[in-house]
Amino acid sequence: MTLTTADADKILSANFAPWVLELGLSVEELGDRRALLRLPWSDRLAREGGSLSGQALMAAADTATVIAVSAARGAYGPMTTVQQSTTFQRAVADVLIEAVVTKLGRRMAFADITMTAEGTEGIAARASTVYALLG
């Protein structure tokens, strides 16, 4: 089954904690092993100086991974983060988060995430994640 952006938005609303939903993430695009989400600017997510906080970016990367893994599997299934590593390269206000599944096994999934300011190619942050697939 191929997921649509509407399917992915339903995955967000049905499976994430209220504080994650308050990030305001929206699914922009989906591919077979890829998801592109938008994290909009919000005063509540900002740190001193006006950039989005690292915690918000890490949560967005983690969430984007769930959507990308769901797209790769054709549906949502229970999963949990095993590892996430994030490097921050520059401040960003509005960000696009692209998660790409690099390996999908029966029990584990691996993804690389790139976060860029909208309208630029300059990378704001990168992350890598490992997920255990529970169902």
Instruction: Give residue 48's pLDDT.
Output: 77
Q: What is the distance of C-alpha 13 from the center of its chain? A: 14
Which residues of the chain are under the pLDDT cut of 70? Answer: 1
Residues above pLDDT 70, as percent of the chain:
99
User: Global pTM?
Assistant: 0.94
Instruction: Give residue 47's pLDDT.
Output: 77
DSSP string, 77-107: --EEEEEEEEEE-S--SSEEEEEEEEEE-SS
In contact, 15 and 75? CB cutoff 8 Å: no
Instruction: Give residue 110's pLDDT.
Output: 98
Instruction: Give residue 68's pLDDT.
Output: 98
Instruction: Give residue 65's pLDDT.
Output: 98
Instruction: Give residue 66's pLDDT.
Output: 98
Q: Which two tokens stand for residue 16?
A: 């994430």
